[in-house]
Amino acid sequence: MVIVHSVGELREAIATRKRDGQKTVGFVPTMGFLHEGHIALAENARKQNDLVVMSIFVNPTQFGPGEDFEAYPRDEQRDIQLAREAGVDILFMPTPEEMYPHDGGIRILPGPQAKVLCGASRPTHFDGVLQVILKLFNMVDPDRAYFGLKDAQQLAIIETFVRDFNFRTKIVRVETVRESDGLAKSSRNVNLSPEERKEAPAIRQALSRGAELFQSGQSATDVEQAVANYITEQTSGQIDYVTMLTYPELATDDGKATEMILACAVKFQKTRLIDNILIQKDGKICSE
């Protein structure tokens, strides 16, 4: 595995390997503090491509004022070792100055998918996500890029971006990897207190119960209320939202949708956790 810090080195490293016959590039963008969720993305990329590129960059433009940019966990040495073990060929670790040397003021404006769920309380978050994804895709030019369903809204918005703007990159969805007690793996889990960590699996339990209630015929509104009640009873966290929408459109169901997302965000003392469950209208829970 080679580690590169500049865009020039990154392009050179990819070009060299392509000249050597490694034709297809799989790309795994991350913010680091790697865990098994990230590793699952890398393993999928490893299976489907000649070359695997991973980026580790805590992107300042997707954090709003007062959010946890400074407190976001970082551990470069551990990340390097885990990326190597996961079969990454090129690890790109740029500084903010390398990623953003200029600012001509041009911004990308996501559509209605970015107004709901996390977008309601983080109004500029997905602008920053699309900005960094566009830049990274231009740098790596991947055949395939791997994203986790843990961040289902981000994934839906990126799929729309890629479709509407004719990127050649195929977006590959990867299932959420969980702890044995059901908590979705997240770099932010280390910022939970020991008590909060014990309570946090209730988020996943609440979503599973919600999915069952929906399958048994309850309305989206009733399901949202039941999930919110369960989380409030079982945790000390504050609910940011519990919302059920169509997936991947992230719209209110007009009766025609085939797949729904039940998603929530819960604020704890030092961190905010998100999770979701995808439910097919024919009754199956198709992804968790």
Considering only 148, 201, 237, 248, the residue that binds ligand AMP (CB under 6 A) is 148
Q: How far is the CB of 261 from ligand AMP (least distance, A)?
A: 14
x/- map, 37-66, ligand AMP, by CB under 6 A: xx-xx-------------------------
Please identify, among the stretches 46-54, 172-180, 209-217, 260-268, the one whose residues bind ligand AMP according to the rule CB under 6 A.
Answer: 172-180
Q: Considering the complex, state which of residue 55 and residue 226 has its C-beta at the smaller distance from ligand AMP.
A: 55
What whole-number distance in Å separates Cα of residue 35 and Cα of residue 21? 31
The answer to whether the beta carbons of residues 237 and 228 sit under 8 Å apart is: no
CB of 41 to ligand AMP, least distance (A): 5
Q: Could you tell me the smallest distance in angstroms from the CB atom of residue 188 to ligand AMP?
A: 8
Contact by Cβ (8 Å): 190, 179: no
CB of 131 to ligand AMP, least distance (A): 14
Task: List the x/- string, 175-214, binding to ligand AMP by CB under 6 A.
Answer: -xx------xxxx---------------------------
Q: Is 144 in the site for ligand AMP (CB under 6 A)?
A: no
When binding is defined by CB under 6 A, the residue of 150, 191, 240, 248 that contacts ligand AMP is 150
- Contact in structure between 5 and 93 (CB atoms under 8 Å): yes
Which residues make Cβ contacts (< 8 Å) with residue 83, sequence separation at least 6? 1, 34, 42, 54, 56, 91
Contact by Cβ (8 Å): 241, 117: yes
Please work out the total of residues on this chain that contact ligand AMP, with binding judged by CB under 6 A. Answer: 17
CA 131 to chain centre: 15
Distance (Å) of CA 74 to CA 57, 58, 225, 271: 10, 9, 36, 15
Q: How far apart are CA 281 and CA 276, in angstroms?
A: 16
Q: Name the residues annotated as catalytic.
A: 38
Q: How many helices, marked H, and strands, marked E, lie in the chain?
A: 10, 10
Count of CB atoms situated within 10 Å of the CB of 22? 15
Q: Which is nearer to ligand AMP, 117 or 213 (CB)?
A: 117
Decide if residue 147 touches ligand AMP (CB under 6 A).
yes
Segment interacting with ligand AMP, rule: CB under 6 A, options 84-92, 97-105, 144-152, 266-274: 144-152
Binding residues for ligand AMP, rule: CB under 6 A, are: 30-31, 37-38, 40-41, 147-148, 150-151, 174, 176-177, 184-187
